[in-house]
Structure 1
Amino acid sequence: MKTRPRRLLAAPLAAAACAATSLLVASPSAAGGHGDDIADDPAVVERWSVIATRTIVENGHRPPVSTLYSAFASLAVHDAVAAVEGGFETYADQPRARRGSSPEAAAATAAYEVLVHYFPASATALRTDYDNELADVTAGRYGGVRAGRAAAATIIELREDDGIDAPVTLPPGDEPGEWVPTTPGMEMYAPWLGGVDPLLIRDADRFDPGAPPDLGSRRYAREFEEVKAYGARTGSVRTPEQTATATFWSANAVVQLQRALGDLAERRDLDIAETARAFALLDASTADALIVAWDQKLEHRFWRPQTAIREAAEDGNPLTTADATWEPLLPTPPYPDYPSGHATIIGAATETVAEVFGRRHVVLNVPSLVDGVDGRSYSRLDALDREAENARIWLGFHFRTAMEDANDLGHHVADWAAERYLEPTHRGHSGHR
């Protein structure tokens, strides 16, 4: 798998300040000193996270890929705010913003510039959001816009030729244990993701999660029987509560956890710099963990339970029995089983929360994205991990090893990243870890 160490580039100041966006900003003399008149709304970070998700989804990207673009925007937002506020290391080299710059204008501009670069078809909607965001920002507006443009330009330059949309395909397997589409004519979603340059990690191989169980093993047979019994659409042994849990975790986990992080940041009264850092760590760690997961999916190409159960007569394991009509609770996502992308997302997110807020006394409120299903609150992050693992088995999507190894993968990447990136500096924050 191709990896590339993080490059630290000087932001192209003059070019960024005069970039393509034709925004009417206040003159340099309008920027005042730090004070109560400088817009400093931490919620701007989550507002642009929501806008980013909307834009990315509208342009046809599912969670594994959407997280990558979210990370580009979040890292730019963090660097722009840090250039204004100080307190945390930046992801890439950034010049300090002029005194009195608006961190709110910096955050909004950074996100806007990244999103409009990658999604020009959404330029009109994004411009409306941007103009609305800056409508009430007067003091420090010029400096904030300049800082945001510089941060966005640096991220965009760093990601040139990073492997997005590379011509990679995964042909259907023809041997027992190999992935085949569960819907005729379906292809693997975004196989190129496994070869994209990571954002934070330098050596993806160090996060290799392992391998699925051998088809002839007792462990495989146990996991086979578990998902066959609990994940079936009809005739399942799931309880109503287990079905509700499975349904809750059937939606876009990236969005669920971004919103949960925003809620926690607000309840903990994080300032704009702390909030920007939390979102950047969440999105970048999740994106990198998914890159590793997709690389492993391409390597192992392990079949999904739906295929495995229907074709069990061919697996060579005397402890498994085929059911040619078996179907999962919901349609299976279009990529191999091992490791689980969903569990990777969950592990990276819960580890990020632990790194930012601590591992004890954390209540995470996760919203529901499914009509008629209530949101859930978790007072223990490991309980959230285990519930989400079970949920995907109860959906009929994964074998247990794919869930457990992927969750560990997410934790390891997020832990490694938080120890090395966006750390507090002596000038400001001590962090909330």
Structure 2
Amino acid sequence: MRAPYRRWLVSSLACVLFAPFVGAVPADAAVDPPGDPAVVAEWNAVAVTTLVGDTGKAPIEGLLYLGFVHAAVYNAVVGITGDYEPYRFRSRAPRGASATAAAAAAAHQVLVTYSPYARSTLDAALATSLARIPDGRAKTTGVAFGVLAADTLIRQRVDDGRYAPVQFTRPPAVGVWRPTPPALLPFSAPWLGGVRPLLVRDGAQFGRPGPPPALGSARYARDFDEVKAVGSATSTVRTQAQTDTARFFSGNVIPQFNAALRDQAATRGLRLAESARMFAAVDMSLADTAISVWHSKYRYGFWRPVTAIAEADADGNPRTAPEPGWTPLITTPPYPDWVSGYSGAAGAFTTALAEVLDTRRLALTLGSTAMPGATRTYATGDALNAEVVDARVWLGIHFRFADTAGLRMGQQVASWAADRYFRPTHR
């Protein structure tokens, strides 16, 4: 059976099965059958591997598509269990449908749609998940309901602004971002700031924090001098401990934070619906933070330290001085400074997690793709956030003011979303 026909058939079957259930449904229209909580974490790991390995996407895009995955998984699960309010999804499954099967089918459907390069691997992962569920009506209706949840999300994301023909065309000038050495790459995914978010109203809601400090200000000079001293590849004032912290937070934030989420789900013994809710709340907040951050980066287009330090004699600030040949500890990423994306992700991650778990004592354990085998633990989100902000300065790729503003933006996005989504139904 050809793939397009197979997808059409599954979607059509789902519509036939669930058409009578679309709309307002009594609270007792579904039961909460036993489900395997591990399925959400397992498909999170599959999704992370799939999206990180998708060479057709810029690295930042992974946050957006991971939000799509967990929105669909969340709807598939709570549409069966009824524990929490669904996300823009009004269908409910027949009594007894398998929430485990629905979660796996929803994740699979979203991933094969947006990363078709990995279809064979994803099909094998789905077969493994479904093999653990006894054959029967519960499994069949669960799969169909999961596909329906995914297809609904996919339809909602049509024409959402992804891959719009947007380019950063601002002419080079003092204070304006331009491609940075050594590769001089163009602005990566400049369209992202115009994408319709999942939770917040639009990218401008939190993505317009106002401009960065004026080039002639004392604050600009202070943060300029700091990154110049401690962020240099040849810094003599940065300690080994600071270098280790910097490198720990120099890898890919998507595997790093999502591995921590899987650890949280396991150590806290979350039920299936609780796990689906946690991953959705965090990863959807991360997606919207990426959109908000990119809106700010594109709107303000502020230069990076590597450019600012080289051209400090033109910034009009008598407190700053250029340093020919200055280079950061790591290569500067190809997008503007204001505001910091990694810091924004940290703010969204810790805030959304604290909100959904209803505790500030997060007991986080993180690894790092840049330092394989290394782990760090944090009692609270504040402790993690402080190290992320410091690390991005010590890497030499951000001014401190860009990190603190990014952190605040992520916190605002996640807090706003937590007040309006993922609420218990009090069944």
Counterpart-to-counterpart distance in 2, 1:297 and 1:206: 14
Residues 79 and 93 in structure 2, CA contact (< 8 A), matched pair in contact too: yes
Deviations 1:56-88 (CA, angstroms, capped at 9, x unpaired): 122123442101000111000000001111110
Which residues of 2 match residues 183-202 of structure 1 at below 5 A?
183=181, 184-202=183-201
> By percentage of residues, which structure has more helix?
2
Work out whether 1:145 is the aligned partner of 2:143. yes
Give the partner amino acid of 1:364: L
- With normalisation by structure 2, the TM-score equals 0.90
| Counterpart selection for 2:45 from 47, 50, 60 | 50
Give the partner amino acid of 1:98: P
Residues 352 and 414 in structure 1, CA contact (< 8 A), matched pair in contact too: yes
Counterpart-to-counterpart distance in 1, 2:101 and 2:112: 16
Aligned length: 401
Residues 196 and 202 in structure 2, CA contact (< 8 A), matched pair in contact too: no
Residues 285 and 417 in structure 1, CA contact (< 8 A), matched pair in contact too: yes
Task: Give the superposition deviation at 1:363.
Answer: 0.4
Task: Give the superposition deviation at 1:185.
Answer: 4.2
Counterpart-to-counterpart distance in 2, 1:372 and 1:78: 31
Which residues of 2 match residues 8-407 of structure 1 at below 5 A?
16=11, 18=13, 40-60=35-55, 61-138=57-134, 140-171=138-169, 173-183=171-181, 184-207=183-206, 208-372=208-372, 374-407=374-407
Give the partner amino acid of 2:259: R
Task: Give the superposition deviation at 1:54.
Answer: 1.4
Residues 248 and 371 in structure 2, CA contact (< 8 A), matched pair in contact too: no
Counterpart-to-counterpart distance in 2, 1:368 and 1:252: 8
Counterpart-to-counterpart distance in 2, 1:255 and 1:145: 27
Give the partner amino acid of 2:367: P
Task: Give the superposition deviation at 1:204.
Answer: 3.8
Give the partner amino acid of 2:95: R
Residues 260 and 365 in structure 1, CA contact (< 8 A), matched pair in contact too: yes
Aligned partner of 1:10 in structure 2 is none
The 10-residue stretch of structure 1 (282-291 or 389-398) with the greater mean CA deviation from structure 2 = 282-291
Give the partner amino acid of 1:137: I
Q: Report SS of the residue matched to 2:212.
A: coil
The 10-residue stretch of structure 1 (412-421 or 47-56) with the greater mean CA deviation from structure 2 = 47-56
Q: Which residues of structure 2 form unaligned runs of 5+?
A: 1-7, 16-29
Residues 172 and 181 in structure 1, CA contact (< 8 A), matched pair in contact too: no
- With normalisation by structure 1, the TM-score equals 0.89
Q: Report SS of the residue matched to 2:377.
A: strand
Counterpart-to-counterpart distance in 1, 2:345 and 2:200: 16
Q: Report SS of the residue matched to 1:379.
A: strand
Residues 254 and 345 in structure 1, CA contact (< 8 A), matched pair in contact too: no
Counterpart-to-counterpart distance in 2, 1:409 and 1:323: 32
Counterpart-to-counterpart distance in 2, 1:15 and 1:382: 46
Q: In 2 relative to 1, CA 204–170 (structure 1 residues): closer, same or farther, beyond 3 Å?
A: closer
Give the partner amino acid of 2:89: D
Counterpart-to-counterpart distance in 1, 2:372 and 2:164: 39
Give the partner amino acid of 2:131: A
Residues 340 and 403 in structure 2, CA contact (< 8 A), matched pair in contact too: yes
Counterpart-to-counterpart distance in 1, 2:357 and 2:198: 22
Work out whether 1:419 is the aligned partner of 2:425. no
Task: Give the superposition deviation at 1:426.
Answer: 1.8
Counterpart-to-counterpart distance in 2, 1:379 and 1:235: 30
Residues 31 and 80 in structure 2, CA contact (< 8 A), matched pair in contact too: no
Give the partner amino acid of 1:84: I
Determine what percentage of the aligned residue pairs are the same residue. Answer: 45
Task: Give the superposition deviation at 1:173.
Answer: 3.7
Q: Which residues of structure 1 form unaligned runs of 5+?
A: 1-12, 21-32, 428-433
Task: Give the superposition deviation at 1:41.
Answer: 1.4
Q: In 2 relative to 1, CA 295–353 (structure 1 residues): closer, same or farther, beyond 3 Å?
A: same
Deviations 1:90-147 (CA, angstroms, capped at 9, x unpaired): 0022321111111111000000001111122211111111111111212521121011
Aligned partner of 1:4 in structure 2 is none
Give the partner amino acid of 2:419: E
Residues 305 and 399 in structure 2, CA contact (< 8 A), matched pair in contact too: yes
Q: Report SS of the residue matched to 1:421.
A: coil
Aligned partner of 1:3 in structure 2 is none
Q: Report SS of the residue matched to 2:365.
A: strand
The 10-residue stretch of structure 1 (224-233 or 204-213) with the greater mean CA deviation from structure 2 = 204-213
Task: Give the superposition deviation at 1:15.
Answer: 6.4
Residues 94 and 151 in structure 1, CA contact (< 8 A), matched pair in contact too: no
Residues 348 and 410 in structure 1, CA contact (< 8 A), matched pair in contact too: yes
Aligned partner of 2:410 in structure 1 is 410
Counterpart-to-counterpart distance in 1, 2:235 and 2:84: 54
Q: Report SS of the residue matched to 2:324.
A: coil
Counterpart-to-counterpart distance in 1, 2:12 and 2:375: 43
Deviations 1:315-354 (CA, angstroms, capped at 9, x unpaired): 1111111012000001011000000011110000000111
Counterpart-to-counterpart distance in 2, 1:108 and 1:175: 50
Task: Give the superposition deviation at 1:394.
Answer: 0.3
Give the partner amino acid of 1:342: Y
Task: Give the superposition deviation at 1:305.
Answer: 0.3
Counterpart-to-counterpart distance in 2, 1:311 and 1:392: 21
Counterpart-to-counterpart distance in 1, 2:45 and 2:372: 22
Q: Report SS of the residue matched to 2:362.
A: coil
Residues 209 and 406 in structure 1, CA contact (< 8 A), matched pair in contact too: no
